Chain A
Amino acid sequence: MSFDEDLARWEAGELSIDELATAYPDEDVRGIASVHAAFAGIAREPVPDASASWERLGARLPARARVGRARRRAIVIGLAAAMLMGSAIAYAAAPSGVRGVVRTIVNVFRDEQPAAPPTGGAPSQVTRDDERSTSRPAPSGEPSARETQDADEPDHGDGGDDEPEVRESGDPDERETPSPDATEDPDDGGGDGDGDGDGSTPTPDPEPSSSDELDGSDQSNDPSHD
């Protein structure tokens, strides 16, 4: 046993001070014990009752009610907004084949005539053709919507500006807020659904879809990169 360990045993009451001093004649056992006792005496001094001081302090606490819930609500709303925006941007930026797939899936759910799953060839060809004619209005459709949307799309690669303001200014809690960036989901089903009218059939006639605002709703995929 070391000196430190025996001191701990003395502190625990397992050794007397005499035994310790005898075991370590070269150490200032009693001197150390006296300083130890001084601190122990300070620790034993009476302290005022906490209840009375709490009564005074409790009334001074600044309001901080519901902060957690408000923050959580803001986070949920922000995340939802980020996901929607991210989905829209991702869809617009997605390669035409991907958009075709998305449209196909959407059409399946809408009971539309499912489009042939995009294979390597045709859809991409269509895509390329479409890309060349980004401004060409779709026959039935809402070219304008797509173009408008394209025009509006700031930047396809841009995932950064959809960061919601879930962090209230000055709120020290920022650390616990998951970064909404992390949830950006480029492949989120083209989200909102909807797609457009039909899937990525090779036939270039996208059907207009009234609910289609977010994405190009046009078969003629994509545009724009720009």
Chain B
Amino acid sequence: MTLSEDPTIAVNIPGASHDRNGEAYVEHGNDAGVPSLLVERAKRGDRDAFGEIYRAHHAAIFRFARFASDPGAAEDIVADVFLRAWTALPRYRDTGVPFIAWLYGIARHVAADARRRARRVEPRDALPDSPTDPPSADRVALFEALERLPEEQRQVIELKFLIGCSNDEVGAALGKTPGAVNAQQWRALAQLRRWLEDG
């Protein structure tokens, strides 16, 4: 899939890499690039393997942490997520759910804890300046609207856009077909649009 300058072409490729021509591409690994063998090694205490997992998933967890809490606390949240993951890894079982979805589950709890501890303030000038941004889209409003969504729709949006999962991976994480994930995504976005428009 190619990242285009044309704002009318969808550019949703979260977590995409870019080749030398500036074109975005997404590597489709076993699980967003983390082989199960790496996970097994990390479970046995291999720090280097866990380091590989960290580097593979750091960006996704950071994006989620930055959106779900105070951006200044994102790096601390990421560290906490991976510390908890390291401790919990011996109990992890590959049940077909993408490993990144497991990390996402931990991240949700950590971010919720962080929000409870601190008041989250989003400066308006932090909004990205991009022609594709809707004029009324404000990150705080977006986050608060997202929080109002039904749990499943919210998870679809977070997994797809912030974590960077494909419809197949989201489906595996939530026990849904890719088609159902697609439907949930658009239903969620339409609802968010209505709430944002209503102010």
Partners in one complex: yes
Contact present for B54 and A45 (CB under 8 Å)? no
- Which stretch of A60-68, A128-136, A209-217 is in the interface? A60-68
Assembled-state Cα–Cα distance A67/B130 (Å): 49
User: Does B107 count as interface, using CB distance less than 8 angstroms?
Assistant: no
- If A43-B15, A50-B58, A54-B55 touch, does A61 touch B86 (CB 8 Å cutoff)? yes
Assembled-state Cα–Cα distance A61/B91 (Å): 17
Contact present for A54 and B193 (CB under 8 Å)? no
- If A50-B55, A50-B58 touch, does A41 touch B130 (CB 8 Å cutoff)? yes
Assembled-state Cα–Cα distance A31/B193 (Å): 6
Shortest beta-carbon distance, B166 to chain A, in Å? 11
User: Does B128 count as interface, using CB distance less than 8 angstroms?
Assistant: yes
Contact present for B9 and A16 (CB under 8 Å)? yes
Contact present for A36 and B43 (CB under 8 Å)? no
Assembled-state Cα–Cα distance A38/B141 (Å): 11
Contact present for A43 and B161 (CB under 8 Å)? yes
User: Does B73 count as interface, using CB distance less than 8 angstroms?
Assistant: no
Closest residue of chain A to B58, judged by CB?
A: A50
Question: Interface centre among A33, A37, A43, A65, by most B CB within 10 Å?
Answer: A43
User: Does A182 count as interface, using CB distance less than 8 angstroms?
Assistant: no
Per-position binary interface string of chain B over residues 70-90, scored 1 when its CB falls under 8 Å from any chain A CB and 0 otherwise:
000001001100110011101
| Residues of B close to A37: CB separation below 8 A | 7, 11, 130, 132-134
Contact present for B142 and A32 (CB under 8 Å)? no
Contact present for A50 and B9 (CB under 8 Å)? no
Shortest beta-carbon distance, A172 to chain B, in Å? 5
Could you count the A-B residue pairs with CB atoms below 8 Å apart for me: how many are there? 159
| Residues of B close to A40: CB separation below 8 A | 10-14, 132, 161
Q: Is chain B's binding surface mostly helix, strand, loop or mixed?
A: helix
Assembled-state Cα–Cα distance A69/B161 (Å): 39
Per-position binary interface string of chain A over residues 41-65, scored 1 when its CB falls under 8 Å from any chain B CB and 0 otherwise:
1111101101101101110111111
| Residues of A close to B175: CB separation below 8 A | none
| Residues of A close to B164: CB separation below 8 A | 43
Assembled-state Cα–Cα distance A11/B4 (Å): 12
Closest residue of chain A to B59, judged by CB?
A: A47
Assembled-state Cα–Cα distance A120/B194 (Å): 85
- Residues on A lying within 8 angstroms of B by beta carbon are 3-5, 7-8, 10-13, 16-18, 28, 31-45, 47-48, 50-51, 53-54, 56-58, 60-69, 172-173, 175-176
Q: Could you pull out 14 A-B pairs where Cβ atoms are within 8 angstroms? A: A11-B10, A13-B4, A28-B190, A32-B190, A40-B11, A42-B128, A43-B15, A43-B164, A53-B58, A57-B82, A64-B87, A68-B43, A173-B91, A176-B93
Additional A-B contact list (20), CB under 8 Å, known A28-B190, A42-B128: A5-B182, A7-B182, A13-B2, A31-B197, A35-B192, A35-B193, A37-B7, A37-B133, A38-B142, A40-B10, A40-B161, A45-B66, A50-B58, A58-B51, A60-B83, A62-B87, A66-B45, A68-B44, A69-B44, A173-B91
